[in-house]
Structure 1
Amino acid sequence: MQTVIQSKTKAVKIDNQGIFTIIGESINPTRRKKLIETLQARDFEYVRELAVTQIQSGADILDVNVGFPGVDDVSLLPEVVKFLNENFDIPLCLDSPNPKAIAAGLAVAPARTLVNSVNGEEKSLNALLPIIKEFGAVVIGLVMDDNGIPNDAEGRTSIAEKILERAEKSGIPHSDVVIDPIVMAVSADTGAALATLQTIEMVHRSFGVNIILGASNVSFGLPDRDTINQNFLALAMYAGASCAITNPVKATSSIRAVDLLMGRDQYASRFIKNFRLQQKAMETAKH
């Protein structure tokens, strides 16, 4: 199944039978004091820096989150969206728990945008799905509901089914819903990653929809996080995941290697292209 996200002139196809899609995670104020300070000042040059680094490192889409305590995200999110659209030609993923901020961001987005996220709670479904339909957006469906996050794959898959059914009733096709099976920290629960992988397999087998991961969550609280993240991503890709919100600086080389090994990169073209980009970036950094 293909899910299309667009910018002014580019289209990115999230495809569970094709090349893995990388969504850059860095435009997010969580644990980024400098980003909070510059966003508060409505100074977007650091946003530009983060965008450039991620694009040069292989990001296909940029996640945009401007949430921090006291922020007026209804006014700030569309400002950042406009800035990115004026300076870059790359599809965006608008990341906010505030439906009003999402609507404001979609109103200034030039084309088909990804939204992070709706979940199985009635409040979330009722607030977000009409906005997604109105703007012709694509939405991430997070497998939690009014009872929280199920511990097992069956419970999470049941919520995925509910989200897909409610989206369809709202006029949103399955191809415009990307399911997030929820990645939890293995430092808190050693079975967390396995539950996510089993959910990926079950959702992929049951519905054939695209599946997204917040991949970096798996290693929270542990040393050598990059090693954990990259190995988890490889397992998730084999299980059926189509895309991830992750750090492209750290993850792209590993992802492109897995694409190649899974037979999805004809003549190793993507892998070689990424290798050359990384070599060029290293040479530039030396000078």
Structure 2
Amino acid sequence: MLIIGEKINSTRKSIDRAVRSRDVESIREVVLNQVNAGADMLDVNCGTLDAQDEPVAMEWLVKTVQETADVPLCIDSANYKALAAGLGVHRGKAMINSISGETERYKNVLPLVKEYGASVVALCMDDKGIPANLNQALEVGTRLVGNLLDAGVPVDDIYFDPLVRSVATNPETVVETLRLMEEISDRFSGLHFVSGLSNVSFGLPERRHLNRAYVVLSMASGLDAVIVDPLDSTLMALVYATEALLNKDQFCMQYIRCYREGKLKA
């Protein structure tokens, strides 16, 4: 499981302040906390800034994070100029968050994916928005992944996000999301699946329980990357345990190592 730390996001007030004031030490603390907790990659987002300021801020943010820890970054923005600014200073292979079937977004982001050889989060949506049901999602997702492959993007670089909705208002969303991942994976061998956790529990109390359960269920249906708070020690322990149970951790060696490192204390 690829663990992508979610906490360097300017929708969090502390991160917004740190980015605007170029507070290096505050950013470094968040970086190190996530990496020490087990993050393999860090999402970086400064989308609360004005469109003209975001590219400069993203360049600073990418440099600051990678000067603190030698980890790849998931450069997260709806502003393709900010994506380009971050990619231009990124060391190693980055991930772009994200591309979709929306005409304008696809047109602007695909050249960046190819120019920088980045992996990319592919959102299951198009100009009509998020699909309303499983059949529509299969159509939109198949078309998007097929177009990326036809454009020369390797399947190993595509991380398909099925865009789960809140179970509070869409009771079938998790069941349909699991089926979507299973059916899309049958069509595209080697395709990766990624998900964020905030949507599935939106509007409900004690959201962490739903988030954790969703990760476990999704891993059984093919999820192999997650954008998450790695400081949630219970969730991380469940990820390690689920990998062992799904035979993705041979002889439970990672699980045992995490136990010895104290990472299973939830």
- TM-score, scaled to structure 1: 0.86
Cα distance, 1:275–1:226 mapped onto 2, change above 3 Å? farther
**Partner residue in 1 for 2:198:** 216
Does 1:96 find its partner at 2:96?
no
Structure 1 residue 92, shift from structure 2 partner: 0.8
Measured in 2, the distance between the counterparts of 1:114 and 1:269 equals 28
**Partner residue in 2 for 1:17:** none
Measured in 1, the distance between the counterparts of 2:203 and 2:98 equals 24
Does 1:206 find its partner at 2:187?
yes
**Partner residue in 2 for 1:11:** none
Structure 1 residue 195, shift from structure 2 partner: 2.0
Structure 1 portions without partners, runs of 5+: 1-19, 283-287
Structure 2 portions without partners, runs of 5+: none
Does 1:256 find its partner at 2:237?
no
Contact 1:24 1:54 in 2 (8 A): yes
Cα distance, 1:281–1:74 mapped onto 2, change above 3 Å? farther
**Structure 1 residue matching 2:122: 3-state secondary structure:** strand
Structure 1 residue 99, shift from structure 2 partner: 0.6
Which one-letter code corresponds to 1:135 in the other structure? Y
**Partner residue in 2 for 1:15:** none
**Partner residue in 1 for 2:62:** 81
**Partner residue in 2 for 1:191:** 172
Does 1:142 find its partner at 2:123?
yes
Aligned with 1:267 (options 248, 251, 257): 251
**Partner residue in 1 for 2:222:** 240
**Partner residue in 1 for 2:91:** 110
RMSD between superposed Cα atoms in Å: 1.8
Aligned with 1:49 (options 29, 34, 42): 29
Aligned with 1:34 (options 14, 27, 35): 14
Which one-letter code corresponds to 1:219 in the other structure? S
**Partner residue in 2 for 1:7:** none
Contact 2:158 2:192 in 1 (8 A): yes
Which one-letter code corresponds to 2:260 in the other structure? R
Moved segments of 4+, more than 6 Å? none
Structure 1 residue 244, shift from structure 2 partner: 0.7
**Structure 2 residue matching 1:219: 3-state secondary structure:** coil
Contact 1:118 1:125 in 2 (8 A): yes
Measured in 1, the distance between the counterparts of 2:7 and 2:75 equals 13
Contact 2:237 2:265 in 1 (8 A): no
Q: More displaced, 249-258 or 266-275?
A: 266-275
Structure 1 residue 274, shift from structure 2 partner: 2.2
Measured in 1, the distance between the counterparts of 2:15 and 2:21 equals 10
Measured in 1, the distance between the counterparts of 2:58 and 2:150 equals 29
Structure 1 residue 102, shift from structure 2 partner: 0.5
Structure 1 residue 278, shift from structure 2 partner: 3.5
What CA deviation, in whole Å up to 9, does each residue of 1:30-77 have, x standing for no partner?
2x2111111110113222111111111111111111111536111011
Contact 1:57 1:278 in 2 (8 A): no
**Structure 2 residue matching 1:272: 3-state secondary structure:** helix
Which one-letter code corresponds to 1:269 in the other structure? M
What CA deviation, in whole Å up to 9, does each residue of 1:99-132 have, x standing for no partner?
1110111110111110100001111111110111
Structure 1 residue 189, shift from structure 2 partner: 1.8
Cα distance, 1:78–1:45 mapped onto 2, change above 3 Å? same
Number of equivalenced pairs? 262
Query: Percent identity of the aligned residues?
Result: 35
